[in-house]
Structure 1
Amino acid sequence: MQPFELKKRQLLMALIIELESALQKQQLWQSERPSEQALASKLPFAIDHLNFVQWLQFIFIEKITLLLQQNLPLPTSMAIAPMASEYFKVQINSCPEIVALITRIDLTINEKV
């Protein structure tokens, strides 16, 4: 693995851990897992069965963590921050820390760090 790729993976793992912590801090982390049917949604962000935070926790974070742990290829481009901005814009707690973390994850995946 190239030094840049290793650094990118380390940074991405740190950001994922920070995102998980921020979700827990805001009391958005859920202990109950959605049904397998909900998690199998083919729509973007599983919007037909999950809210955005559920998608982050049960699909995005789990998948990126798995890719990192198993040294599998990462996505080459990502744009989750616009969805995060829209989702949190209408929430009681706008969670700018979470949106900022997701933006950093996007930039890291897109190699603009």
Structure 2
Amino acid sequence: MSAEPQILLHAIERELKALSWWESVPPSARALASTEPFCLDTLSFPQWLQFVLLPRMQALLDAGAPLPSRISIYPMAVESFKPLPEDTAGLEEAIARLDERLSGQPVQREA
């Protein structure tokens, strides 16, 4: 995957906005402090992407720190979006590409 992580983060943000899932007001500090994977107990998956994943990845990029190499967000995205009426294919693809770029492994796309 030749795309740089910054471009992929922007693609996720763009897709969240296109779906009208981008929120102007962040969740409470308590909601963001969840210790559950993907903050499942306090945030929706799109909120987790916007308020946890994107800022943390951006902070790593800004600091020149190493990015995670063991990452698998795509399966959670597919599962989270299954019951939704919106067309999430663009967002799923952006997430799959981020997984591939960081892990160095191909992602098995849903049919």
- Aligned mate of 2:9, from 16, 38, 50: 16
Secondary structure of residue in 2 paired with 1:42: coil
Question: Could you tell me how far 1:94 is from its partner in structure 2?
Answer: 3.5
In 2, the alpha carbon distance for the partners of 1:12 and 1:76 equals: 12
- Aligned mate of 1:47, from 26, 40, 46: 40
- How many residues align? The count is 106
Equivalent position of 2:52 in the other structure: 59
Question: Could you tell me how far 1:22 is from its partner in structure 2?
Answer: 1.0
Secondary structure of residue in 2 paired with 1:75: coil
The letter for the 2-side match of 1:110 is S
In 2, the alpha carbon distance for the partners of 1:78 and 1:112 equals: 10
Report the TM-score, using the length of structure 2 for normalisation.
Answer: 0.89
Per-residue displacement from partner, 1:70-109 (whole Å, max 9, x unpaired)? 1012112100000000111111114111001100000001
Question: Could you tell me how far 1:49 is from its partner in structure 2?
Answer: 0.3
Equivalent position of 1:4 in the other structure: none
Aligned-residue identity in percent: 34
Structure 2 unaligned regions, length at least 5 = 107-111
Structure 2 residue 101 is the aligned partner of structure 1 residue 108:
yes
Task: Give the alignment's Cα RMSD to 1 decimal.
Answer: 1.6
Question: Could you tell me how far 1:55 is from its partner in structure 2?
Answer: 0.3
In 2, the alpha carbon distance for the partners of 1:88 and 1:31 equals: 21
Structure 1 unaligned regions, length at least 5 = 1-6
Report the TM-score, using the length of structure 1 for normalisation.
Answer: 0.88
Regions of 4+ moved over 3 Å: none
- The structure whose residues are more often helix, as a share, is 1
